[in-house]
Amino acid sequence: MPTTDGAATSEPRWLDAGERAAWLSLAGVITLLPGALDAQLQRDAGLSHFEYMVLAMLSERPDRTARMSELAALANGSLSRLSHVARRLEDQGYLVREACADDRRATNAVLTDAGWDKVVATAPGHVAAVRRLVFDALGPEQAEQLRHIGGRILDRVDPGGSCPT
Amino acid sequence: MPTTDGAATSEPRWLDAGERAAWLSLAGVITLLPGALDAQLQRDAGLSHFEYMVLAMLSERPDRTARMSELAALANGSLSRLSHVARRLEDQGYLVREACADDRRATNAVLTDAGWDKVVATAPGHVAAVRRLVFDALGPEQAEQLRHIGGRILDRVDPGGSCPT
């Protein structure tokens, strides 16, 4: 590692011991938790976590409809990632894409009845996994802390609240 | 969604409003932060975040050497994922794999001088990204909370502290 040589302004601000421990635990979570969530959903429903998020976010919208750009932001993906996944979900009959009536340049995604049924059937197993992997390990105060910490990090990672393409 | 019908034992334990908000923020972080870390490292060093973790963890070991199984746990990856990545890093001259002197059935990974130089050259840009995306957004108390919360989730996701293959 580079040594401090008095040129303090150019010296990187290395993590202190507490920050380093916090970083290693967060790095572990972001490396391993996605795979654990995907594993349960793939095994029990044949869906990735991102695919489930797309369907679940649509299921909560009025008329089960959202613009593709909004849906990408809700599911934390880029528009190009969503377009790819929407094609797959459309092939399976869970959603359809159609031109937006208010703005012909925009595309809406609409959850089908089969997509709704898929969310209803998949949600209990998914929420059980989220409880087992996350909330069963945390008290209510830690859940509240996690909400604030996650929100602050998200503001940095995705400042506009909608992902870059 | 299924309705409560008195058979309370079979009803899923849905997330309450606070848990749901915490979950959406964590789901955003685990979906977006890995890509943001990869983007900086790929652009500036031609490495994925997992590849960087492998080299950085080795750089901190005595003799810059670790058993492959230990290294997989340190970098939060399965042994099969590590084996794949180690081959690539070996091709680039950053590490070598050799039989362990104490246990001929085990394999060690050893950081080369070129691998050490790569870590030294890459660390400042990576730590700047970690500060910008995570720690600049958090006070010291939140960093401490994150350490505990992350540790508790990791205990659930990876109970033995070493990943399944």
Q: Which two three-digit tokens encode residue B14? A: 């849905």
Band of pLDDT at residue A163, cut at 50, 70 and 90: very low
Residue A9 lies in a domain: no
Band of pLDDT at residue B162, cut at 50, 70 and 90: low
Residue B20 lies in a domain: no
Overall domain count for chain A: 1
Q: Which of A50, A73, A58, A55 is nearest to A122 (CA)?
A: A55
Query: In chain A, which residue's Cα lies nearest the Cα of B117?
Result: A1
Partner-chain contact B29 A30, CB within 8 Å: yes
pLDDT at A9: 53
Q: Which two three-digit tokens encode residue A86? A: 């929407």
- Distance from C-alpha of B155 to C-alpha of B105, rounded to nearest angstrom: 29
Alpha-carbon radius of gyration of chain A: 20
Partner-chain contact B30 A33, CB within 8 Å: yes
Band of pLDDT at residue B159, cut at 50, 70 and 90: confident
Q: Is residue B117 scored above 60 in pLDDT?
A: yes
Partner-chain contact A148 B155, CB within 8 Å: no
Residue A156 lies in a domain: no
Q: What is the pLDDT of residues A60-103, one digit of tens each?
A: 999 999 999 999 999 999 999 999 999 999 999 999 999 988 88
Q: CATH number for the domain including B81?
A: 1.10.10.10
Residue A29 lies in a domain: no
Q: Which two three-digit tokens encode residue A147? A: 């909400």
Residue A106 lies in a domain: yes
Q: What is the mean pLDDT of residues B6-19?
A: 78
Q: Tell me, what DSSP letter sits at residue A11? A: S
Band of pLDDT at residue A159, cut at 50, 70 and 90: confident
Residue B43 lies in a domain: yes
Q: Pinpoint the alpha helices (H) of chain A.
A: 17-45, 49-59, 68-74, 79-91, 113-133, 140-157
pLDDT at A143: 96
ipTM over 0.95: no
How far is Cα of residue A77 from the mean position of the Cα atoms in its chain? 7
Identity of the amino acid at B154 = L
pLDDT greater at residue B161 or residue B13: B13
Q: What is the pLDDT of residues A33-60, one digit of tens each?
A: 999 999 999 999 999 999 999 999 999 9
Which residue range(s) make up the domain with B66? 36-141
